[in-house]
Structure formats: structure tokens, C-alpha cells
Amino acid sequence: MTAAIVGCPFSGGQPRVGVDQGPVHMVEAGIVDQLTALGWKVKFDGHHQFEEVNAITDPPIGKLKNPRLVSAVTKAVANVVGGHAKMGELPVTLGGDHSLAMGTISGTLDAHPDACVIWIDAHADINTAETTDSGNIHGMPVSFLLGLGSPIPEFSWVKPALKAERLVYIGLRDIDAGEKRILKENNIKAFSMHEVDRYGIGKVVEMALDHVNPKRASPIHLSFDVDALDPSVAPSTGTPVRGGLTFREGHYICEAIWETGLLVALDLMEVNPSLADAASVKQTVTVGCSLVRSALGETLL
């Protein structure tokens, strides 16, 4: 089995400096060798360069910030991820901010139209141009993938290829008012931290899979935002929210999804190695690499 590391040093979906260095730190921490040691054939031909895209003048569209940059980069990522997936490889996209998932999931759905998406995050990332308060596109990728909100010409390449019933969230705890409306109106299944507390992570993952993958027959795209974890576990990230997943809960999700044998793509997003002291940065990078290994078959026994 081949894993293709897609290093995406990109921060255009949000305002904080440093998240583009996430993939650099994870590769420097040895993720390629770690996956090789697990038995994977690992492809990594260097981080993707988005400098040339940075050159364009890119005034906001409505509230949306860096719209043309985000569109161009996520479109490029869609082609890269889709290309690897079509060759039967498992793309492991290292972010970079979560707007990249507009690209990764578009790429996955191009190769696996019947794929379902399991989104691990403190946030729903489902704001539309009408509901966003920040204009940061890392809070919006899911709305584009579902085809919600008014069409934006600059994003016309994004096909609404994701169906609401094929999406499920785990870890939610910081949802904007507009997003709450969107989740309800579209009957989107979400297991917040309240459900994690009530049922335990084992039952939550089982219920999440039952919802999007009842016959365990559909490919799975796992999109993991490290801010789903409690800030005490992953401190160096752009939008930390207290009351998150424990180290083990985060790893259990990855282990359980690997056990299905259905994983076809993984995103590990929002590691920002410039937001904390060296020890906290190292902790966050290390947990990011550990989650990737667990999603790709590392077991405790």
C-alpha cells in the first residue's frame, strides 16, 4: 500500500501566521519514516509550493478574505489528491489551514464518488458567504462541498459532490449561529462533545459510521482538525476551544476508522507551530504525527 504525503504549506484560509509551517514541522518530525516503519510505501516529493499563486491581487469578495488565492490553491490540491487516489494511493494531506479540505475532499470524491466524510473538529467549518462573521474561508469549506449558499464565480470549480447524508461530525463545541441553522436545515449528523461525554467515544464512532456508512461499504475520507483535541493536548493551533477530545479519544477515532479498512484519504489540519512555546509546539506536532500513524494502522498491541 502506498501513502502519498501531500504537504500543503498554506495559511490563506485564516489570518494567523505560521499554520503554513505545519507540514514542514511534521515532515521534519519524521512522519515519512514513521509510516515506512509501519509498512507503508511512502511517496513524498516535497511540499507543494503556492508562492506563484500568492502573486495575484486578491481583494475580498464580500466578507471572504483571500478568495482567489484560496480558490486557486484548493483547486490545485483537488487535482493532486484526486490524482493520488485514482492511482490507488492513500493521500495524507498535511495542513495548513482547513480551507484545504475543499480541495482534498473534492479530489477524493472525484476518485471515489461514493465516499463519506468524517469531520473531526471543534468547529463545523460550514459557514456560507452569507453567514460567515470572520470571512476566513477555513470556516467555510463544508458549505462549498455541499453546494450551500449563493454561488461565487471564483469558486465555480467546486462541484457540490458531497451529500449531507454522507457527512458526519465528531467533536463540535464552537458553532456559529448561522452554522447551527445550516446543520438543522440540512439534517446534518453531528456528535458534539456533549454526545462524546454521554455515550463515550466508542459508541459515538459506531453511531457516526452507522449514519454515513451503514453497510461499511463506502470509502471514508477522514478530515481531522487538531483543534478537535483539547488545547491541553494540542495547544499550538489557530482556533483553540476548551473542552475538547482527550489524547486517547482522538486516537481512538483514528484507530477505529483504520479498523474499518475503508479509509481512502486523510487530512491532518491546523497544526500551527508558531503559536506557543517550543515544548507546546513539539507536543502539537508530535500528536499530529501520532494521529496520522493511528489512522494508518498503528495499534497499541
CB of 208 to ligand X7A, least distance (A): 18
In whole angstroms, give the CA distance from residue 130 to residue 151.
11
Cell of 23: 507540514
Q: Does 139 bind Mn ion (CB under 5 A)?
A: no
Closest by Cα among 273, 176, 166, 184 to 223? 166
Q: Does 125 bind Mn ion (CB under 5 A)?
A: yes
Q: Does 225 bind Mn ion (CB under 5 A)?
A: yes
Q: Find the binder of Mn ion among 224, 270, 296, 297 (CB under 5 A).
A: 270
For 261, other C-beta atoms within 10 Å of its C-beta total 9
Residue 20, contacted partner among Mn ion, ligand X7A, none, CB below 5-8 A by kind? none
CA 251-256-257 angle, to 5 degrees, is: 100
Mark whether 28 is an active-site residue: no
Q: Does 136 bind ligand X7A (CB under 6 A)?
A: yes
Number of residues forming the site for Mn ion (CB under 5 A): 10
Q: Quick one: 218 or 239, whose CB is closer to ligand X7A?
A: 239
Active-site residue identified among 20, 195, 270, 298: 270
Q: Does 134 bind ligand X7A (CB under 6 A)?
A: yes
Looking at the DSSP assignment, which residues form a beta bridge with residue 177? Answer: none
User: Which parts of 51-110 interact with ligand X7A (CB under 6 A)?
Assistant: 98
CB of 238 to ligand X7A, least distance (A): 6
Q: Does 176 bind ligand X7A (CB under 6 A)?
A: yes
Strand order in the sheet with 116-120: 41-43, 2-7, 90-94, 263-269, 220-225, 116-120, 167-172, 189-192
CB of 298 to Mn ion, least distance (A): 23
Active-site residue identified among 138, 211, 221, 251: 138
Q: What Cα–Cα distance (Å) separates residue 250 from each residue in 62, 238, 245? A: 36, 18, 6
Angle between helices 101-111 and 67-86 (to 10 degrees): 30
Question: Which three-class secondary structure state does DSSP give residue 70?
Answer: helix
State the catalytic residues: 98, 121, 123, 125, 138, 225, 227, 270
Q: Which residues bind Mn ion (CB under 5 A)?
A: 98, 121-123, 125, 225, 227, 238-239, 270
